[in-house]
Amino acid sequence: MNSYFADMHIHIGRDMYEKPVKITGAKSLTLTNILKESSRNKGIDLIGVIDCHAPAVQQEIKELMDAGKAVELTDGGIRFEEVTLLLGSEIEIYDENCQGPIHVLCYFPKLEYMAYFSEWLTGKMKNITLSSQRYYGTAKELQYKVKELEGIFIPAHVFTPFKSLYGKGVNQSLKEVFDPDLIDAVELGLSSDTYMADQIKELHDYTFVTNSDAHSLAKIGREYQEILMKEVTFREFNWALHEVKGRKIKQNCGMDPRLGKYHTTVCNDCDEQLQPNEKECPNCGSTKITKGVFDRIQELTDVKNSDRKRPLYLYQVPLEYLPKLGPKTFRKLLERFGTEMNVIHHASLEELLEVVPATLAHSIIAMRKGELQVKAGGGGKYGSVSNK
């Protein structure tokens, strides 16, 4: 088996006609730019772009293929330079079984299947050209259609306070909303990790994935996974999610959950960190409070740990998070080591010292070992890191 890096949740900010797809996405976050950044700078082998249901995005893929810059693989996926693209769609469901809106990720092996899926969605969605739109139908109906088209179905960022399965203040079960047999994996989100998620028994049957949910080029690869596969295709990725014939997630690479912007319970008005059950902020009196993912999971916990042997969860941060690592230094590192993945995983301390100051070189090694000092985030603000 070979080892590959994969980030399966990347948005598109603008289509080829410069029209918005993800309203909050950066204008530079086009499909072609995503492919180039992932292949040339990030060193990501497999990406999932989850706005491929938009017709203009499909048109851009077709033009890349017609120009000979991309090719559709027999076993699924679109190959561009050193990266394989899986065609994905993030969809919002809110049927009678949901306690609140829930986002899910759907992936398809062929452009033809994604085009058919988009056509089907036009009758169940108000605006097919935009990202993460409300789907008018049941979650199970959506699952059945995804499987009819040989697709992969993954509930997205399941603990995020907004638009996720467990985010609302109710003890909702996965089985109330979905057909559990038609779920291929579960995406954790930035404010949680394997150890936190395994405190919920009904998740023990599923592979966990960690993705960036990137809204800009720089955020690609802030969370990802290292996967053992024979080659980078849709079929191999699907097999890895189900641990078929030696394919599997080797390790999840993600930020310390305390760095996530919804890790702790915080007052939205004054940023005061609060106890999980407080209804009013003792500092400013506001009742606008966002419950943190850590506190939410404590409410949902029904088991101490899982019997399933999980992959290693490696705590790390994107290079841009490190103190005193600006754009010029970042460019120096890429010129020397080729990609961000090489810097994060492979460059030795001695090699780093040839390029950057000692303090920064030691920060990169400390980050690789999970030894950076972490200040927790919450209430929509990310945490931060520093040297001990």
Query: By the 8 A CB rule, do 227 and 194 touch?
Result: no
Q: How far apart are CA 323 and CA 326, in angstroms?
A: 8
Burial of residue 279 (number of CB atoms within 10 Å: 0-12, 13-18, 19+): exposed
Q: How far apart are CA 10 and CA 311, in angstroms?
A: 23
Question: In terms of Cα–Cα distance, which of 246, 257, 239, 253 is closest to 311?
Answer: 253
Residues 6+ apart with CB under 8 A from 49: 10, 11, 12, 31, 34, 57, 85, 86, 87, 88
Measured N-to-C along each axis, helices 139-148 and 111-121 cross at an angle, to the nearest 10 degrees, of 150
Supply the pLDDT for residue 387: 67
Residue 103 sits at φ, ψ, to 5 deg, of -95, 140
Q: Where are the domains of the chain?
A: 2-256, 319-371
CA atoms within a 13 Å half-sphere pointing along the CA-CB vector of 82: 15
Supply the pLDDT for residue 259: 79
Indicate if 319-371 has the same CATH topology as 2-256. no
Q: How far apart are CA 115 and CA 55, in angstroms?
A: 8
Q: Which amino acid is it at 34?
A: I
Residue 155 sits at φ, ψ, to 5 deg, of -60, 135
Question: In terms of Cα–Cα distance, which of 87, 74, 105 is closest to 34?
Answer: 87
Q: What is the DSSP string of 143-203?
A: HHHHHHTT-EEEE-STT-SSSSSS-SSS---HHHHS-GGG---EE--TT--HHHHTTSGGG
CA angle 212, 275, 388 (to 5 degrees): 55
Supply the pLDDT for residue 318: 81
Query: In angstroms, what CA-CA distances link 48 with 34, 35, 255, 377?
Result: 10, 10, 19, 27
Question: In terms of Cα–Cα distance, which of 213, 229, 144, 218 is closest to 178?
Answer: 144
Give SS3 for 43: coil
* CATH class for the region spanning 2-256: alpha beta
Supply the pLDDT for residue 148: 98
CA of residue 345 relative to chain centroid, distance: 19
Residues of the chain with pLDDT under 70: 169-171, 378-379, 387-388
Which CATH architecture fits 319-371?
Answer: Orthogonal Bundle (1.10)
Long-range contacts of 18-21 (CB under 8 A, 24+ apart): 19/56, 19/129, 20/130, 21/51, 21/54, 21/56, 21/57, 21/129, 21/130, 21/131
This prediction's pTM: 0.93
Written as six digits, the tokens of 71 are 């090719």
Q: Which segments of the chain does DSSP mark as H helices, in order?
A: 31-36, 55-66, 111-121, 139-148, 174-177, 194-197, 234-241, 293-300, 327-337, 340-345, 349-353, 358-368
Neighbours of 118 (CB within 10 A): 20
Torsion of CA 347, 369, 211, 384, to 10 degrees: -110
Supply the pLDDT for residue 162: 85
Supply the pLDDT for residue 383: 76
